[in-house]
Amino acid sequence: MNKRAGISLNASSSTYEKQNSLFTAYWDDFNIITVMIHETASESLSFRLTDGQDWLPVSNIRELENEPVNQTIIQLQTVDPLNAGQEYFVVDQKGNSCLLLTGKVVRTEEFDRRYAYQKDDLGSILNGDRTIFKIWAPTAIQVKLNLYDKKQNFLRVLDLVREENGTWAHEEPGRLEGNYYRYLINVNGRWNKAVDPYAKALSVNGEFGVVLDLAKTNPPGWNPFHKPEFKNATDAIIYELHVRDFSIQSQSGMVHKGKYRALTEKHTKGPLNTTSGMDYLKDLGVTHVELLPIQDYGSVDESAAFPNYNWGYDPTHYFVPEGSYSTDPFDPVQRIKEVKEMVAAFHENGIRVIMDVVFNHIYIIEDSSLEKIVPGYYFRYDKGGKPSNGTGVGNDTASERFMMRKLMVDSVRFWIKEYGIDGFRFDLMGIHDIETMNVIRREIDEIDPSILMIGEGWNMHTILADDQKAKIEHASKMPGICHFNDRFRDAVKGKLFNQNDQGFATGNLFVKDQIVQCIMGSTNTLFSAPGQSINYVECHDNHTLWDRMLISNSFEEELIREKRHLLASALVLLSQGIPFIHAGQEFFRTKYGVENSYASPDEINQFDWQKKAGESRSVNYIKGLIQLRREHPCFRLQRKDQIREHLTFYEYCPSLLIYKLHHLKEIDSWNEVVVVHNAGIDLKKIQVDPLKNWHVVVDNDKAGVTALYSLEMNEITVSPLSTLVMYN
């Protein structure tokens, strides 16, 4: 034992200070205490541990190597394991004391084994003529609740009682429906104000939880499980949409601009009396709309008459809709009703709803209720004790810990059962661990296996072992979970982070072999089934395809770029896998060169209904490709073996990519389908079997399921920068 850490058994004290300027102590494991001595000590130091009543035996004390040299670190090992929720003090030989602060112990496996809580009763619950509050706060010394009336006038303080596995609960007589509340957590020597992380309703800007009877928020005839029929993942055609973008333009024809309710309006008209709003989406033919985050987020002031713009990747609460899209963010009920009305409207129009969920980080860690309630538990930290920052926004949540995983599972189940959500896009899914994603998939399957799980499986630099990351390279370990296929994106339009790079559709014919793999749903390279591949060329992130080509193909005429754009979209919609379209992609959407428009004004982000009205030819082309895909199963094969059996490529010349879907008798109403993508700038002629009656359904800028013309010769001309589809 180092003499500087020698222990004295004779010192005693009846009162203890919670902090001093000499040292700080942390509870780092159930039997381990780390004492940080803030300045070099010139005399021997000794430390004792007390629970405020008795001295507790310490079996081993040692000094740890540390830098900087002007700080000494002493590690104490206790004979008996310590307990969460109990105050302990570390005392030196002079009687200086400090409160033992919660340290790394909350990030140990043993902590989860002892305190993981599995029941589904967290939050505020109305039970007959009683109201029950329950929160998980295992390291808290005390938990109280401030209760307010519906006008946020303070009423009284409620004391919660510690129960099993670190939970605290209080049962209050009476139905406190509509009352506001906020927790007070006594942890690490201070009282933290915290909003219930399991609150199902919130005040404006999420400052208070609100007790609600959610059954009273249901629209007439509401049934969250009454939804459009959907069986196989590859049947999906996903359309990514931001709630505010879609209706905010003055010419959108929708009344409730920027609001959930805009998406419930019927028979709206845009410029030139063209269809807009929900009717437009229905007419386009997509099966799923993916909404950018609608969970409560912190980067927009909900109380503002004209709130600032944000995509919404700044989550604060995981069980409540964002208020800035509500017609009345001050009414806790209104946003809930309006989201349900919106989902019901989508379902009535044959469209399912995917919501973008951001579990990988919290808006501001220091302000997070999760951090205030159980400091250090819900987030990852590096060896130096700083928050891991693989997300690039200041913190990474720790999905591998039981209660963070439970929060994710509980939130997903809640949105399915309460709001009728049909799918989830996991932002930066590579931050999460494989086991958590598979647990969520299994939980969803128990409710409805047709619900989609898609995610960004990027390799994130977070504090998590590489073999545990839910990244695209580990797709085979996550069956039933779809990944945004960045190989597809880069092969079609060029590498994302080299803006001058070109892909097959934009002029680089040397990536043709990569495109072949992509058309097969990347089932030879990445995925165990085509339904795991989300095929896309643009999304809300980064440049739109049109803006990207203004850089990579700036030397070309606008008409040429339009042809390339349609070729890229045709590759998305005709390849095996799940096609994904960014709202406005069908009419060459631009954000005027802004690459990261997360907080740009509406003028940059808004859905341009004027441009849509003027680009009817391209809109109808995309609509025709969607119809073709929906009506012909050969474009949405479900298994890898089906692709091997029914899809054959033919080599002709570098600019032509030709393949045939064949032996379709038991799959499709057509016998054979030939698809030709011409990425060259010249006409090409190809030979066809003269004994078969070939009918062309896609050519140049026209597409659909009705024959445009039939072949009378054994040769067909393929236009430059175009897609041709014919069948017999």
CA 384 remoteness from chain centre = 28
| CA 90/CA 546 separation, integer angstroms | 63
Q: In 3D, which of 418, 191, 164 has the Cα closest to residue 295?
A: 418
CA 244 remoteness from chain centre = 18
Cis peptide bond prior to 329, omega within 30° of 0: no
User: How far, in Å, are 12, 282, 408, 462, 619 from residue 457 at the CA level?
Assistant: 56, 30, 17, 13, 30
Residue 73 half-sphere exposure toward CB, CA atoms < 13 A:
12
User: H/E/C letters for each residue in 426-445?
Assistant: ECCHHHCEHHHHHHHHHHHH
User: How far, in Å, are 25, 234, 385, 472 from residue 188 at the CA level?
Assistant: 11, 51, 16, 40
Which residues, in sequence order, are bridge partners of residue 424?
355, 453
With beta carbons less than 8 A apart as the criterion, state whether 389 and 419 touch: no
| CA 426/CA 453 separation, integer angstroms | 8
| Residues ≥6 apart with Cβ < 8 Å to 412 | 357, 424, 440, 443, 444
The radius of gyration of the chain's CA atoms, rounded to the nearest angstrom, is 30
| CA 344/CA 465 separation, integer angstroms | 41
Question: What phi and psi values does residue 164 have, to the nearest 5 degrees?
Answer: -65, 145
Residue 427 annotated in active site: yes
User: H/E/C letters for each residue in 106-169?
Assistant: HHCHHHHHHHCCCCCCCEEEEECCEEEEEEECCCCCEEEEEEECCCCCEEEEEECEECHHHEEE
Residue 562 annotated in active site: no
Active-site choice (240, 322, 427, 586)? 427
With beta carbons less than 8 A apart as the criterion, state whether 387 and 431 touch: no
Q: In 3D, which of 516, 518, 391 has the Cα closest to residue 464?
A: 391
DSSP assignment, residue 638?
-
DSSP assignment, residue 386?
P
Active-site choice (456, 538, 615, 668)? 456
With beta carbons less than 8 A apart as the criterion, state whether 542 and 496 touch: yes
| CA 97/CA 496 separation, integer angstroms | 56
| CA 202/CA 170 separation, integer angstroms | 20
| CA 616/CA 272 separation, integer angstroms | 11
| CA 15/CA 25 separation, integer angstroms | 17
| Residues ≥6 apart with Cβ < 8 Å to 522 | 485, 487, 488, 530, 533, 577
| CA 58/CA 216 separation, integer angstroms | 57
Q: In 3D, which of 315, 296, 254, 298 has the Cα closest to residue 279?
A: 254
Residue 55 burial class via C-beta count within 10 angstroms: exposed 0-12, middle 13-18, buried 19 and up: middle
| CA 374/CA 380 separation, integer angstroms | 13
With beta carbons less than 8 A apart as the criterion, state whether 444 and 479 touch: no
| CA 583/CA 382 separation, integer angstroms | 39
Catalytic center residues? 427, 456
